[in-house]
Amino acid sequence: MGKLTTHVLDTAHGCPAAGMAVTLFRLDDDGRAQPLKAITLNHDGRADGPLLEGDTLQVGRYRLVFAVSAYFAARGTVQADPPFLGEVPLDFGIADTAAHYHVPLLASPWSYSTYRGS
């Protein structure tokens, strides 16, 4: 059974991004974003369970939005006003509903990277 998961690592402090807010959207054919789920990452920087799985995991385009600047502000990290990174949106596609799609984010107040994990 396929599923969608996420995980965020705070590369500025060398730890999981516990407490970061993440919102999942489904993108329609016109690119409009329909909200599906909003979560707060746990102590390990992960969602407590899959964001989508079973019948809720459908072929299509999706967006995860990570509240990077709010997370670093809550940690007391000094940021510019406005911060260099506010929210980080990641658009991706799901083509195989039997597969595991893991979307990790490595983030600092000044940079981020992602990849399809396992």
pLDDT tens digits, one per residue of 84-97: 999 999 999 999 99
Residue 46 labelled as part of a binding site: yes
Q: Report DSSP letters for the chain, one per residue.
A: --EEEEEEEETTTTEE-TT-EEEEEEE-TTS-EEEEEEEE--TTSB-SS-SEEGGG--SEEEEEEEEHHHHHHHTT----SS-S-SEEEEEEEE--TTSEEEEEEEE-SS-EEE--B-
7 is in an annotated binding site: yes
CATH of domain 3-108: 2.60.40.180
pLDDT digits (tens, 9 = 90+) for 37-69: 999 999 999 999 999 999 999 999 999 999 999
Tell me the mean pLDDT in the region 18-26.
98
Q: How confident is the model at residue 113 (pLDDT cuts 50, 70, 90)?
A: very high
The whole-chain average pLDDT of the chain stands at 97
What pLDDT, on the 0 to 100 scale, is given for residue 115? 96
Consult the annotation and say whether 115 binds a ligand.
Answer: yes
